[in-house]
Amino acid sequence: MKRKPIRVLIADDHPVVIEGLKSVLHRTARDIKVTAEARDGRQALEAAARGLADVYVLDVAMPHPNGLEVLDRLARSARGGRAIMLSMHDDKPTVEKALRAGARGYLVKETAAEEIAPAVRAVHGGDCYLSASLSRYFGYSGVIPASRFCRPQEEPRLTEKERDIVGLIGNGLSEKEISLRLGITYNTVHGHRRSISRKLAIHKQTDLVRYAIREGLSRP
């Protein structure tokens, strides 16, 4: 008896991303069929309510609501448990937030075309999947048996001063400018900066700026 194909919803606010992943699956994965598309979170939730997919591929940054909010709603419904997050970001805090929210897979857009099929199969079969570039954080990637998969521990809490510093970094201030703004020494700011990098596992300035903006720590 012929097996039914795995039905997939792809939700992303960039049509070229959807079309690209659809094309890859159509050419390389006869056992997977894209049965629904969504340009935002509202459309994704509507498709989920109609039971149009077995696995949901959700863009983290899509609007109205975003992918993590859609994931949260799916996790609290009978449709939850088989979602793969899709993002251009591969920083540890973003990935961990998705996994804590219940994602069973995380694909980095840069390599999503070559990983989409095995990721869908893994998640549909009850396992988990992480893009290869994420192995530097978790020590593993690819298909991960559910019995070995553990949600990451809660992200270490930043102190109030560290949150202030992250916010100012997000506003584009240098460590010297931050020391003047907060009335503390440069060495104290530098020490906090090292602690922040260690806690968040973020070492690039650009990634820390994105984190500050995403978490609402930077202000005009």
Query: What domains are defined for the chain?
Result: 6-144 (3.40.50.2300), 160-214 (1.10.10.10)
pLDDT in tens, 131-142: 999 988 888 889
Tokens 């979602």 found at: 83
Kindly state the DSSP code that residue 81 receives in the 8-state scheme.
Answer: S
pLDDT band for 147, please (50, 70, 90 cuts): low
Question: Is the per-residue pLDDT at 7 higher than 50?
Answer: yes
- Per-residue exposure over 12-21, b if at least 16 CB sit within 10 Å of its own CB, e if not: bbeeebbebb
Round the average pLDDT of the chain to a whole number and report it.
88
Question: Is the per-residue pLDDT at 21 higher than 70?
Answer: yes
Contacts of 174 (CB under 8 A, 6+ apart): none
pLDDT in tens, 45-86: 999 888 889 999 999 999 999 999 998 888 776 555 589 999
- How far apart are alpha carbons 98 and 72 in whole angstroms? 9
* 97 neighbors 110 (Cβ within 8 angstroms): no
pLDDT in tens, 158-189: 888 999 999 999 999 999 999 999 999 999 99
* This prediction's pTM: 0.69
